[in-house]
A and B are shown apart, each in its own frame.
Chain A
């Protein structure tokens, strides 16, 4: 049983560029959340997708957007990259109907130069 998978593992971009990160949830999970973890900080909630819609959103600008596909996989898009967007981006999946565990993927390390 595959867990949460994220791609790519590492990414280097320059300021102003756009980036797309991908996530496949754990089998049986239908809810995907994205978190940003800056160096030395705890993860910060970006948004959550369920039934292909953004259901909750944290305090992140509109440059951060996402999508969920019918197979529950998800994408995180960041436009107009800033140096401060450099971080580990974590995808986490769960089941809407229950489950007390949030499963994290291995993350995408984004560096903005």
Chain B
């Protein structure tokens, strides 16, 4: 079983729709959870992080964490073509910041 698994893509949504990205993790002791956005040929860019169960909202982005189910999700409201990218879920298992376990990413395309 992989440390971090993301829902298979690619995901395609129309402009203005809600994009839902999902991630599960295997280590129940994991403490911190991150969503990165990566444009083709570029480095990952942190867009959200969450530590506690529940929802965390930042603009059009909402991260949801359910530790009992070992599940993390990212919702993107009012999706824009500029949101088209690969979204990486990453987990910190509680070791020193810097060692993250990444999923393989979900490619999102938002069409006009």
Contact = CB atoms under 8 A, between A and B. Distances in A.
B37 to A, nearest CB: 11
A105 B43 contact: yes
Contacts of A28: none
Contacts of A107: 42-43
Nearest to B6: A42
Contacts, number: 63
Nearest to A48: B98
B39 to A, nearest CB: 11
Given A42-B88, A90-B43, A102 B96 contact: no
B interface residue count range (under 10 / 10 to 19 / 20 to 34 / 35 or more): 20 to 34
A40 interface: yes
B101 A45 contact: yes
Interface string A76-108: 000000000000101010111001111111110
Interface stretch (B14-22, B58-66, B77-85, B102-110): B102-110
B44 A90 contact: yes
Nearest to A31: B98
Nearest to B42: A106
A42 B4 CA distance: 10
A interface residue count range (under 10 / 10 to 19 / 20 to 34 / 35 or more): 20 to 34
A44 interface: yes
A107 B103 CA distance: 18
Contacts of A58: 99
Interface of A: 31, 33, 40-45, 48, 50, 55-56, 58, 88, 90, 92, 94-96, 99-107, 109
Interface of B: 4, 32, 34, 41-46, 49, 88, 90, 95-105
Given A48-B98, A99-B97, 20 more contacts: A31-B96, A33-B99, A40-B104, A42-B90, A42-B102, A42-B105, A43-B88, A43-B102, A56-B95, A56-B98, A88-B43, A90-B44, A101-B49, A102-B34, A102-B100, A104-B43, A104-B44, A106-B43, A107-B43, A109-B41
